[in-house]
Amino acid sequence: MTTYSDNELIKSIKNGNQSDYSKLVDRYKDRAFTLANSIIKNEMESEEILQDCFLKAFNSLNKFRFESKFSTWFYRIVFNTSLTRINNKKRNTESNFLSLDEFENTLTYDKINDYRKGEISEALSLLIRKLPNNYSVVINLYYLEQMSCNEIGTIIDESVNNVKVLLYRARNALRNIVFENNYTQELL
Amino acid sequence: MNKIRKEIINQYLDGELDYDERKTTEKLLEDSSEDKNEYLLLKRLDKNLQKMKSKQPSQDFTSDLMNKLSVKTATHKIQSRFIIGIITILMLPILLITWTVIYNSFSNYSAVGSSIIYTVKSNISLLLGNAINYLSISPVSLLWISLSLILSIAIYFLFEDFSRSKFYLDKIR
């Protein structure tokens, strides 16, 4: 079966073949989901946001001028939408949900214990969720999407040097979490 | 370990150092066991991070999304059709009112106007022929009656179309 490039698919969608959009969705949904989840830290809500982002991208497809990669353009939408959602959520529920956050903390560490003998990558993903948003986004984009610092910079609106610093700090923060919780044996 | 050394180790790990800097760092790692341990730890972390897999949304994600998209597109089309229909229906009486106003003012105050109106009037009479004579009503009244009839039919079809579209939308939802 022929694999169409992103640009070919976008041209076809612009010409009215709406069903081709499902090919683009299938291509990017997993990665975009990981990105949204690294900010939102709730799978159901991340999925809901991702649906909104895909609808938003479809409506704005006419404005897409092929100047950048579709992936970069789309991840930027996901990043900004997720940040807006998390900021609104923080403003509305900061005090009420403090206890829930603590509960979530315990839950995560319990899950990590379950993974001790299992999948390392799953346990690492859970620890990444404990990192501040900008760290977890950079880690996910760099390691999961295998994006360059330049591309990451375009998505999160930071210079290449700042992305490098963020990556370095994120890695060290993750290393500290692993150490503090005695997961060195299992995860490193 | 100071921050600068940590940063250099990270840069070494990411392959961002040039030849000389790499040699210096390798020497540094050989001389200090603390630095070497830190490097090995970060290297293992880096290796494990590279093995991470993307999380996946639910299996129905794409079909749900495409369904939402179809509903949205269909709703948009129906809304546009309805708005155009309403505007057209509203435009007809506005045009007729304007025509009536012009008719009255011209026939009262202007000789040129009167002649234009006379031409229009005779054309309408010619078109509608005996109907006007038979019903003994003015052309303007006849126009209003026809318009009311057209409007009633248009409104009926517009709402019929709207309810059918609504039914279609409920079906694909």
Mutate to test the interface with B, among A41, A61, A171 (most CBs of B within 10 A): A171
Nearest to A74 by CA among A113, A112, A21, A119: A21
Residue-level pLDDT at A166: 92
Domain ranges in chain A are: 1-94, 95-188
Instruction: Report the C-alpha gap between A64 and A92 in whole angstroms.
Output: 33
pLDDT greater than 60 at residue A114: no
A138 close to A152: Cβ distance less than 8 angstroms: yes
Residues of A in contact with B47 (CB under 8 A): none
Instruction: Report the C-alpha gap between B35 and B15 in whole angstroms.
Output: 17
Instruction: Give the amino acid at A52.
Output: D
Find, in chain A, the residue whose alpha carbon is nearest to that of B66: A22
pLDDT in tens, B114-125: 666 666 666 666
Tell if the CB–CB gap between B62 and A120 is shorter than 8 Å: no
pLDDT, mean over chain A: 82
pLDDT confidence of B109, banded at 50, 70, 90? low
pLDDT confidence of A102, banded at 50, 70, 90? very low
Tell if the CB–CB gap between A174 and B45 is shorter than 8 Å: yes
Topology at the third CATH level for domain A95-188: Arc Repressor Mutant, subunit A (1.10.10)
Instruction: Give the amino acid at A67.
Output: E
CB atoms within 10 A of CB A71: 18
Q: Cα angle vertex B17, ends B16, B23, to 5°?
A: 145
Which overall architecture, per CATH, does domain A1-94 show? Answer: Orthogonal Bundle (1.10)
- ipTM at complex level: 0.75
Q: Most distant CA pair in chain A: distance in Å?
A: 56
Answer yes or no: pTM beyond 0.80: no
pLDDT in tens, B40-51: 888 888 888 888
Instruction: Report the C-alpha gap between A65 and A6 in whole angstroms.
Output: 13
pLDDT in tens, A8-40: 999 999 998 888 999 999 999 998 998 898 888
- Residue of B6, B53, B57 with shortest CB distance to A121: B53
Please give the average per-residue pLDDT across A65-81, as a whole number. 90
